[in-house]
């Protein structure tokens, strides 16, 4: 069982018995609007998430994530939701400030 908790969306919880899924797929399947300007291809950083807890439950960094980390467009506590696969357990994430939609209501 995997679980994604989105801290600044009122601790919204997504539970899945299907492990090894991309985080953004699970988010979208639960009807949450999450930015992804490049169409989930790892070409931008608009889908980035801040991982507060559970980084060990995600797949290793992809080549695209390493590229953006080296460029300074990601930091060590951030992952691309279109690249990160939840493998097991729970992750606590936040929507990055610069990637928030104006039509969504976020909590703190």
Domain that holds residue 38: 2-99
Instruction: Look at residue 108 and tell me if it is in a domain.
Output: no
pLDDT tens track for 70-107: 999 999 999 999 999 999 899 999 999 999 999 999 99
pTM: 0.94
- Type and span of the H or E element at 92: strand 89-95
Instruction: Look at residue 107 and tell me if it is in a domain.
Output: no
Instruction: Look at residue 45 and tell me if it is in a domain.
Output: yes
Q: Mind spelling out the 3-state secondary structure of 12-61?
A: EEEEECCCCEEHHHHHHHCCCCCCCCCCCCCCCCCCEEEEEECHHHECCC
Instruction: Look at residue 60 and tell me if it is in a domain.
Output: yes
Counting the structural domains of the chain, the total is 1
Instruction: Look at residue 20 and tell me if it is in a domain.
Output: yes
Instruction: Look at residue 104 and tell me if it is in a domain.
Output: no
The rounded distance, in Å, linking the Cα atoms of 18 and 88 is: 9
Instruction: Look at residue 106 and tell me if it is in a domain.
Output: no
Instruction: Residue 78: give its domain's CATH number.
Output: 3.10.20.30
pLDDT tens track for 8-43: 999 999 999 987 899 999 999 999 999 999 989 999
Instruction: Look at residue 95 and tell me if it is in a domain.
Output: yes
C-alpha angle 78-84-87 in degrees, rounded to nearest 5 = 120
């Amino acid at each position: 069982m995997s679980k994604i908790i989105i801290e600044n969306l009122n601790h919204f919880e997504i539970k899945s018995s299907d492990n090894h899924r991309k985080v953004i797929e699970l988010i979208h399947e639960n009807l949450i609007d999450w930015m992804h300007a490049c169409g989930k291809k790892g070409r931008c950083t608009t889908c980035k998430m801040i991982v507060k807890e559970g980084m060990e439950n995600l797949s290793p960094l992809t080549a695209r994530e390493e590229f953006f980390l080296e460029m300074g467009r990601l930091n060590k506590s951030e992952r691309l939701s279109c690249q990160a696969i939840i493998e097991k357990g729970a992750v606590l994430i936040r929507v990055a400030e610069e990637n928030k939609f104006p039509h969504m209501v976020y909590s703190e």
